[in-house]
Structure 1
Amino acid sequence: MPSRPRVLTIPASRPHLRTLAEAILAGRVIPGWPDAADPLSLAAGTILLPNRRACRTMRDIFAELTPAGAVLLPRITPIGDVDEEEWAFADPMPLDALGLDAIGPPIASLDRRLTLAGLVRRWAESVDRAVMRLRGDDPLVVSTATADALSLAADLMRLMDQVATERVPWTNLDGIVDSGLDEFWQITRAFLTIAREHWPAHLAELGLEEPAIRRDRLIAAEAVRLKASPGPLIAAGSTGSIPATRDLLAMVAHHPLGALVLPGLDTDLDEASWRAIGGAGGGAAHAHPQYGLKRLIDHVGIDRETVESLTPPAAHGREALVSDAMRPAATTDLWAAGRAMQGPEALAELAVIEAANEREEALAVAVVLREVAEDPARDAALVTPDRALAHRVMAELARWNVAVDDSGGQPLSGTPAATVARLAAALALDEPSPSDLLALLAHDAVAGGTAAAERDAAIAAIELKALRGLRPAGGLGGMLAILDTAKASERPRPDDAASRVTEAALVAGRALLSRTIEALTPLSTLPAEAPLATFATAHAEVLHRLGLDPLAIGRDAVVGLLVDVTASDPAAGFAISRRDYPSALDSLMQTETVRRPANPGARIRILGLPEARLLEADCVVLAGLV
């Protein structure tokens, strides 16, 4: 590698992507590229960015900055988005350079979770006996419920991904607690043998790979290919949060025609505080916002002083204020001196809102965003890691018909389609609740094909004639039997709602309840215990019979999940009881995310922290950061 890696930074007060694009076109990122005399020169380069949204924005900025005519853009691609077909033309072959015969396919996420859940259930059944031997007076009981096993499996998957990503050997667990001090830690360590021993053997038998390990191998192979490429090569906006990405970014920095562009490197912090972030004189400040950049610079093998800035910071000096406020705990004694150096201009045009509660917080944010939306020449962004806050803000903005482009999603379990699926499973497999029945019948996602007035009258007839008073025996069939014997009152009274139910409403109510019972039959007729795949197959048929609206939010995701469970080999052997299925389904849906359709024309955006550092807006609202 060359002795002088090229590492640049763009101040946090400057728009990252726009500044980068301007610097590239001016030839300040990689000297001599692009060649102004060669219209094809720009297309020879490759730009690596953290995510697809940043790539789309970068293309738009290039188009805006080159208005003279058509231009061939460089290849702009997300870091880690690897096209394995390009390896066939690489020299050396990336897999040969890494000593790998091939990179196997990843195990499907659902198959992974169900298999781990089965192992967790078997472990939970055995650990009770072990604990009883340890504590005869008050044994610890570990739940063997299917939903709990699925939740534990999801937690175990996250831990396995973290261990694989950080390249930490599982044997490090052996030294965390002395074996003679804590008997319950030994139980936890025994639980983790699922990940340490049983799981690797299972994958080897199937010829599949862990997703995190496969991702790292793909990135490593791509780094080999890019290293042999002629360039130019630019990586920008990433802090190298995972080791595989850090290796790739370091390769780019050392490439003869490469440049690594850092987002908002703190050049104001004193050297002692900078070293303290990395752990000099104490523990590393892992939570410090500059910790990732400090680790990346060290990995590249340079000092902070050698990093060049592509443009000066904004004149207000806000970076220095934030740097001082965020300094590591080891050097907070320097706060007093820092405050004396900072003028009032650093706080110009900043406002702080203290909300009394979550609803007031969301409303205050929404009011600020709405004010910006009223000016067609301005845009705004809410930057928050709190998805619950984002949903509340969007609900407030929806009252004013303000269009929002949300980069995140929402949990599948909270969508209308998931609600219908949950209600249907509860009614078919458990003791039916009148409230669940009414909620399903009145749900907008299953109301198609019937006039609103007729449906409302039918639901009112069911409620007033069959569901008032003691709950009838016989489940939904018992409710239908009561409705069949109900008669319309000959003397309706204003103070008695039931007496105002008409014969036509009773007929419609009987028909609606009969259709619902018939639609639930595939689930309600299943035996007391069956494979999870059998329940999923029947559930998908129930949703079809209920007429779940194809446009309902989450519909495709719910149906897709049921289809995946039906086709899953582990699900075919994953026995589950009728009473466990609704909670197990909910556990599966909680870890799924439904992405909202992109709304690129919206001037109000909701961004997560990683992408916010690359984009720009006239007004930025920071919320939910603590």
Structure 2
Amino acid sequence: MSSRPHVFNIPSGYSFLEQLATKLLSDPSLSGLFDAKTRLQDYTILLPTRRAVRNLQNLLLQKSGTDALLMPEIRPLGDVNPEEMIFAEAEAGLTGLTGLLPAEVTPHAPSLLPAMSGIERDISLMTLVQAWLETSGRAGGLASTSKLTAELTALLDSLQIEEVDISKLASLVPDEFSHNWQQTLEFLQILTTAWPLHKQEIGRCDPSERRGLLLDRLTTLWNNHPPSGPVLAAGSTGSIPATSRLLQCIAQLEKGAVVLSGLDTQLPPEGWAQLKNEHAHPQSGLFHLCEAMDLQRSDIQTFPGLQMKSSTDIQCARATFVNQALWPTSLTGRWIELLTNDKPSQNLFENMQIYEASDTRSEAGVIALALREALETPEKTAMLITPDRQLARRVTILLRKWGVEINDTAGQPLSRTSVGVFAGLVLQAVATDFSPANLLALLKHPFCRVGQNAKSHRQLVSRLELYALRGFRPKGDSVKGNNSYAHNTNGLDHIMARLKHAESEKKHIQQQSQQNTNDETLIGEVITFADKLRQIFKPLTDVPYEATLNNVGQALLEVMESLSRDDANISILWDSPDQEVSEHLEAFMSVMVEFIKAEDFTAPQSEWSVLLDYWLYQTSIRPRVNAHPRLSIMGLLEARLVDADLVILGSLNEGTWPALPETGAWLSRPMRESLDMVAPERRIGQSAHDFVQAFSAPEVLLTRAEKISGTPQLPSRWLSRLKALHAGLYEDICPWPDAERLSTLWTTVDTPPPPKAEKRPEPKPPADVRPDRLSVTQIATLQIDPYAIYAKHILKLKPLDPLEADVTAAIRGSFIHKVLEKFTLKYPDDLPDNVASAVRETALELADETAEGQAVLLYWWPRFSAVADWIADFEIERRPKITRIFTEITGSMTVDIANKPFTLTAKADRIELTDSGHVNILDYKTGEPPSKTDIEKMRAPQMPLEAAIAIAGGFEGISKNARIKELAHIQVHGGYPAGKIRIEENPDQLAETALSGVKKLLEYYADENTAYIPELHPDRVNFRDYAHLARVQEWMSEEDS
């Protein structure tokens, strides 16, 4: 062992790995620290991250100037190979773990057992949490259980990493201290009692626990039997106790050395001493490492052979500036002394820019521009460092828009890959009882083929969508309770029922499919396809609602494989030639192995997809993209010791960078202190050190968004300190480096060209294709939105029903019409004894026939019941004067338009013949009827035109030239009162005026020079089924609307 620890420092402002590589290549003895015969390949070098390992390897090869180089052993600090350890211990004459770990180091450490995987541990802990919640009567959904498990896992990791005896939790607070804490303590018995027993039972340990034990085992080995070659630990702050002990061991080795990164040797001594409690300071981690190694700051030397830069060097000047800006608060009063002691360089902010964007979008835009601009300089490298994943995704998308792929080291969650999405869609389809939206999302996934080639599969899915998935879908109970429509045993059964119904009504099929082909053949193919789907899903639908993950996992894999088989019976998922898909599938199967191992964990069907997504999301996948080699996006940990010519520090807002200090869900600050745990601010200190190191890059861009999703944000404390120091001392020497050029450039790029004024469509079809038949309701449409008539009757386009449609006013109105029609047909002459009850019974009978009716009554029953009472009074009052009632009767009349016959059609809700020989025409409305003014001014011509058709003898059973006594709107809405009658005045005059006006209207549109203009009266358009086709939003101005 060395009498003096070998600890060195590479200050901020220097490329850490480059200095390390240069010295190791030029002088492996490190200026006589090691034997002069030391060779590069003799070294063992330990670095904080795998990326730092790769970068050092690349630098060594690059700087060597050769194509081949005998490399030292370079590995991450936390990676200890237990197999190598066994041989090393045997060589040293040490065997077994017993006796190697001093009691004072890890007094409660178990034997070195295999570590559980993350998912295996999650499932085990979730099982214990679920059992505790059920026992305590607090059982909830698995979403809340998984959240509790995640928080419990975080606490467990913290306790194990900081080597806190978990059993101390039981005696942390006196019994009388807090009732709430006692309840928490009962829950934490999962960690103090149940978890150790579980690990002992299965013979496993926690990953962080095992990693700490391996590091301590290596420390003990090297203390007892130092390695023959030199060992260099570089760039670590020793924030983990086991790592700190290893660094202390390496520093004491005869052939060992520790190299620190960014130790501030210029911080005044009194400031250095305060760092014991200044956990958020960037030097705090290094202070505690020195304290653990029993070192004074003065004991740490500059790295051998480091070529010191001038104090006027931009990087060094900037490093000095940021370190001074972040002095402990008690020293900021001494900032004024800096003007006399250290004259700041006028080029302090050269190659540095700061951009405070108005929002995240603008921040991402400027960052993307800066990265893209860097590529214009040959060999220039650039990277974005940010903990904000949303910002990283925005930058990636913007660069992709410009044809540049960037390497995002965070990767993407497995749940967002094509394989993960496919698995999630399968479980979601089952969990939602094959709701149309979820089923279609699955069937349209690229991996889904159902035994078809790609083209045939798309055609069958489209037909299935048209025939059975669009329109109203029943949800929940009916007003009468369970029934065949609202309670299918399987949503696929309901789909099959709709297909069979469609098969029996070819007219309905033709209307939905808009095809003139052999519909019976088409529907037969779709029924076969749906039946195959039902068979494929049987492994999952046969699994009980409450099932073990073992059963669910096996069934899921079987269904995924069957769904992905094509017409050649080859699984395009399992046998995919795409290397990226294969890698994703391999990662997915590793998750599913753990899923299937969970033989004791049960979950309800509704939670299967939640659990799978929870674990898939935790598995990160690096996408295979042809990323540009000179650009990258990194998180804070990945960016440590990584250099670039341009470094962009993004999302410099409080709460993002740095993150807010959190004590966790279980322990308060006093509790953490009593357990000798580190302060939550320690993480801020580590982030601050990352910030300082990155700030000292050759070229720097700092960015933040002043608002995120409309919420104002506070700037990062470090940015505020920089501004404060600059404003107080340096403002007259060097201006604040606003990124004005990049901001202006982004504004130019982001500002779209002035919108081009589009013309309103004016289709003018030939006269011979213009409609010669319209209903009276469509006459109103022709008045206000002629383009809708053009699209429907000339282009023959009909709007598709929405997916999973709810009960609309139209559905409710249609059902009420059917109830009143059926009631009238049942009782055409004499009314029953209890009219209101008979109306209700009629409604319930219809509800049994249609799912729509059940849904209407389920939510509208109280109002309908009131309507039934009102209808009873209405019928009792009117029936004595009525000789005959026609309900839902169709009629028509022919008029001469441009020397051609034109047919007007109508369907009257109710026509009555009175005992005086007059005719009453009634129209039911569940909504607001048209106003008297609209009817008189022919803006609502439906009822007057029905009267005109009646007068012309166009309704069967109504004699020509009949006298119209009443033209009435019957409003039944269930309010107070539940209904009302409004009778229009002068019905004969209204009919004559309406017919005359309609003839003029039809004459106008019979002219082929007349255009069918969209939305002539936008304020009166109620249904905009063709607005997208007419591109209304492109040409309609505010004045038009």
Q: What residue identity is the alignment partner of 2:94?
A: M
1:221 to 1:125, Cα distance in 2 relative to 1, 3 A: same
Offset from partner CA, 1:460-517 (integer Å, 9 cap, x none): 3233332222116441222233235536988999xx8742486587566555544443
Q: Secondary structure at the match of 2:355?
A: coil
Q: Which amino acid aligns with 1:431?
A: D
Code of the residue aligned with 1:561 in structure 2: it is V
Aligned pairs for 1:74-223 (under 5 A) are: 74-87=72-85, 88-89=87-88, 90-93=91-94, 95=97, 96-98=99-101, 103-128=112-137, 142-173=138-169, 177-223=173-219
Any idea what the Cα deviations from partners look like across 1:100-159, whole Å, max 9, x if unmatched? Answer: 99622123333322222121112212334xxxxxxxxxxxxx443233323322321221
Give the superposition deviation at 1:193. Answer: 0.9
Q: Distance in 1 between matches of 2:409 and 2:332?
A: 36
In structure 2, C-alpha distance between the alignment counterparts of 1:594 and 1:421, rounded to whole Å: 16
Distance 2:361 2:601 in 1: 42
* 8 A contact 1:127–1:187 mirrored in 2: no
Shift of 1:84: 2.4
Q: Summarize the Cα distance change of 1:622–1:101 in structure 2 as closer, same or farther, 3 Å threshold.
A: closer
Partner of 1:247: 245
CA pair 515-604 structure 1, distance change in 2 beyond 3 A: farther
1:534 CA drift (Å): 0.5
Task: Report the Cα offset of residue 235 of structure 1.
Answer: 0.6
- 12-21 or 1-10: bigger deviation: 1-10
Partner of 2:932: none
| Counterpart AA for 1:44 | D
Offset, 1:536: 0.8
Per the TM alignment, residue 453 of structure 1 is displaced from its structure 2 partner at its CA by 5.5
Aligned partners of 1:546, 1:583: CA distance in 2, in Å? 21
C-alpha distance after superposition, 1:393-412 (max 9, x if no partner): 22222223323223222223
The offset of 1:260, in angstroms, is 0.6
Q: Write out aligned runs for 1:90-489 (5 A).
A: 90-93=91-94, 95=97, 96-98=99-101, 103-128=112-137, 142-173=138-169, 177-227=173-223, 228-279=226-277, 285-310=278-303, 311=306, 312=308, 315-316=313-314, 317-338=317-338, 341=342, 342-446=344-448, 454-471=456-473, 473=485, 474=488, 475-486=491-502
Give yes or no for contact 1:457–1:505 (8 Å, CA) kept in 2.
no
1:350/1:44 CA distance change after superposition, 3 Å: same
Q: Is the 8 A contact 2:406 2:631 kept in 1?
A: yes
Q: Kindly state the Cα deviation for residue 559 of structure 1 after the two structures are TM-superposed.
A: 3.1
| Structure-2 change in CA distance of 1:68 and 1:106 (3 Å) | closer
- Deviation of 1:236 after TM superposition, in Å, equals 0.5
Structure 2 CA distance for partners of 1:71 and 1:416, relative to 1, 3 Å:
closer
The reply on whether 1:529 has 2:542 as its aligned counterpart is no
Distance 1:606 1:485, change over 3 A: same
TM-score by length of 2: 0.54
Between 225-234 and 520-529, the greater mean CA deviation after superposition: 225-234
How far is the alpha carbon of 1:261 from its aligned partner? 0.7
Q: Sort the Cα spacing of 1:226 and 1:507 in 2 relative to 1 into closer, same or farther, 3 A.
A: farther
| Aligned counterpart for 1:539 among listed residues 556, 562, 584 | 556
Cα distance, 1:611–1:113 mapped onto 2, change above 3 Å: closer
Structure-2 change in CA distance of 1:79 and 1:519 (3 Å)? same
Of residues 554, 559, 567, the one that matches 2:589 is 559
C-alpha change, 1:364 and 1:485, in structure 2 (3 Å) is farther
Tell me how far apart the structure 2 counterparts of residues 184 and 486 of structure 1 sit (CA, whole Å): 61
Provide the alpha-carbon RMSD of the alignment.
3.1
Structure 2 regions of 5+ residues with no counterpart? 103-108, 475-484, 565-571, 658-1041
Moved more, 27-36 or 422-431: 27-36
Residue matched to 1:587: 614
User: Paired residue for 1:620?
Assistant: 647
Q: CA deviation at 1:269?
A: 1.9
* Alpha-carbon shift at residue 73 of structure 1 (Å): 2.0
In the alignment, the residues of structure 2 paired with residue 182 and residue 339 of structure 1 have an alpha-carbon distance, to the nearest angstrom, of 54
Q: Deviations over 1:427-472 (max 9, x none)?
A: 2233322111121122234369866655444333233332222116
The alignment partner of 2:153 has SS state of helix
Match of 1:133 in 2: none
Deviations 1:173-230 (A, max 9, x none): 4566553342111111111111011111222233322222211111111223344113
User: Are 1:21 and 2:24 matched, yes or no?
Assistant: no
Q: Is the 8 A contact 1:457 1:509 kept in 2?
A: no
SS at match of 1:446: coil
Do the aligned partners of 1:82 and 1:218 also contact (CA within 8 Å) in 2? yes
> 1:499 corresponds to which letter in structure 2?
Q
CA contact under 8 A between 2:502 and 2:508: conserved in structure 1?
Answer: no
- The residue identity in structure 1 corresponding to 2:497 is A
The residue type paired with residue 430 of structure 1 is T
Distance in 1, Cα, partners of 2:366 & 2:512 = 42
1:8 equivalent in structure 2: 8
Report the 3-state secondary structure (helix = DSSP H, G, I; strand = E; otherwise coil) of the residue aligned with 2:407.
strand
Distance 1:321 1:500, change over 3 A: farther
Q: Which amino acid aligns with 2:618?
A: T
Gaps of 5+ in 1: 129-141, 280-284
Q: Which moved more, 1:184-193 or 1:112-121?
A: 112-121
In the TM superposition, what whole-angstrom CA distance separates every residue of 1:256-312 from its partner, at most 9, and x where no partner exists?
A: 121111111122322222222222xxxxx2232222111112112211222222333
Q: In 2 relative to 1, CA 182–28 (structure 1 residues): closer, same or farther, beyond 3 Å?
A: same
Identical-residue share of aligned pairs (%): 33
Q: C-alpha offsets along residues 26-55 of structure 1, whole Å, 9 cap, x if unaligned?
A: 33873337878x6x8222121111122222
* Residue 4 to residue 378, structure 1, CA distance change in 2 (3 Å): same
Q: Secondary structure at the match of 1:261?
A: strand
Which residue does the alignment assign to 1:41? 39
Specify whether residues 383 and 523 from structure 1 end up closer, same or farther in structure 2 by C-alpha distance, changes over 3 A only: same
Aligned match of 2:602: 575
Distance in 2 separating the partners of 1:71 and 1:610: 28
SS in structure 2 of the partner of residue 385 of structure 1: coil
Q: Is the 8 A contact 1:383 1:608 kept in 2?
A: yes
Counterpart residue type for residue 5 of structure 1: P
CA contact (8 A) 2:43 2:72 kept: yes
**CA 1:544–1:361: 2 relative to 1, 3 Å:** farther
Preserved CA contact (<8 Å) 1:536 1:562:
yes
Counterpart amino acid of 1:479? Answer: I
1:318-337 Cα distance to aligned partner (Å, 9 max, x none): 11111122223343333454
Distance 2:127 2:69 in 1: 55
CA distance in 2, matches of 1:373, 1:13: 24
Partner of 1:134: none
Higher helix share: 1
Q: 8 Å contact 2:450–2:457 — kept in the other structure?
A: no
Q: Which moved more, 1:200-209 or 1:155-164?
A: 200-209
Q: Which has the higher contact order (CA 8 A, sep 6+)?
A: 1
8 Å contact from structure 1 (residues 237, 263) kept in 2: yes
3-state SS in 2 of match to 1:443: coil
CA distance in 1, matches of 2:586, 2:460: 29
SS at match of 1:541: helix
